[in-house]
Amino acid sequence: MNISRRRLLQYFSCAAALPAVHVCGLSRADSTDEFWWSAGSDYADGTGLAGFSGQGRTSVLATAFRGHGLCAHPLDQRVVMMARRPGYQGVVYSSDGTPLQFFSSRSDRQFQGHACFSQDGRRLFTAEIVVSDDDSLHGRGRIGIRDAETFTWLGEYDSGGVEPHELKLMPDGESLVIANGGLTPSREDGRENDQRFTMDSSLVLLNSHTGKLTARHTLTEPMASIRHLDVAADGTVVVALQVQRQWLNDTHVRPLVAVLPADNPESLSLLEAPDNLWLALRDYMGSVVVHPDYRVAAVTSPRGNLVAFWELQQKTFLGYFPLHDVCGISLSAKHDCFVATNSAGDMRFIDPVSLKEIKSLRRHTDAVRWDNHLLGPLTGPA
């Protein structure tokens, strides 16, 4: 584990003092309330895990690392948070906030920030890269497979590309869809090198039982990194892009959102929007979620301070919602709307039709700086 003894002791001393059923301000009396999890912090180094209930109560748990993506077990009340890349740890909580265990990457692997469970909840799939002195291997993508009870390593698949980031299970319960960012991280700090000649981003589908690659898609823009995604109920995949502007030789705008339609799974195509919107988004989209009923995709841009929306049936740009440094995006089933968070502790509920804020639900907390991704809605402990 790449973690200092001091930080580990800090985590356990804090976790041991937490009352299990009050981490998110929930009690059995309000167990049907919605709540959300996010990497978030009130610590200067960004470490921590935050929970927020729909009743407006927020708590922060100390972790020994800065978190990134989260996923929920499909059958029980456990939540996994993965470390921000370059990562070496994941942490497991029950959804009432009780810390259960850490698990670590293998010595020659790095976690890349995201994971997902198998449909039966028996396996956890983690996005990883190979760490090697061999340039032909370093940065190659792997999908780690872990037992979802013990979190012991069972094996791995090739991700079908370089630097896998977000991955999700498709509605068929069989296929994994994986965003391979295409950037080989440096050995020094685990972030990007100069990749202008070798960047190779892709969206791939793998059989989750065999690891067989069943589809691989790329974009015509070689400097667009496919990093985040969401999957609609019918299997349509929406991807959020990050364009590496520093390696381009012109100032032309680049689209930042693409879609792989369920009814045309051979065509990964860019969505359209006005040029001034793409300029405002500053080449960077951070997170994406699809509303299941309205088939509206919401995609956040922390650099552009906007949430942008597209209707997926006609692939039509609908509009945007301004929020400073917004990145986390999820849904509220109770209020039938989008939920967006930012690093200032703001939480905004956005109507999927009007794209306006439902101001009566507005929340703010000084206790936490929300990080990149938002998991929910979950319900309180039974």
Residue 191 in tokens: 């972030």
Q: Which two tokens stand for residue 84?
A: 């921000």
- pLDDT for 192 equals 64
Write out the residue range of the structural domain in which residue 195 sits: 5-379
Give residue 365's pLDDT.
Answer: 86
Q: How far apart are the first and last CA of the chain?
A: 34
Please tell me the predicted confidence (pLDDT) of residue 196: 60
Domain count, the chain: 1
Neighbouring residues of 243: CB distance < 8 A, sequence distance ≥ 6? 221, 223, 224, 225, 254, 256, 283, 284
CATH number of the domain enclosing 347: 2.130.10.10
pLDDT at residue 53, rounded to an integer: 77
Contact 66, 90 (CB under 8 A): no
Read off the pTM.
0.89
Ranges in the chain, pLDDT < 50: 1-31, 381-382
pLDDT of residue 7: 37
Provide the pLDDT for residue 62.
80
What's the pLDDT tens digit per position in 134-158? Answer: 888 888 999 999 999 999 999 999 9
Q: What angle do CA 352, 354, 355 make, to 5 degrees?
A: 60
One-letter identity of residue 40 = G
Contacts of 360 (CB under 8 A, 6+ apart): none
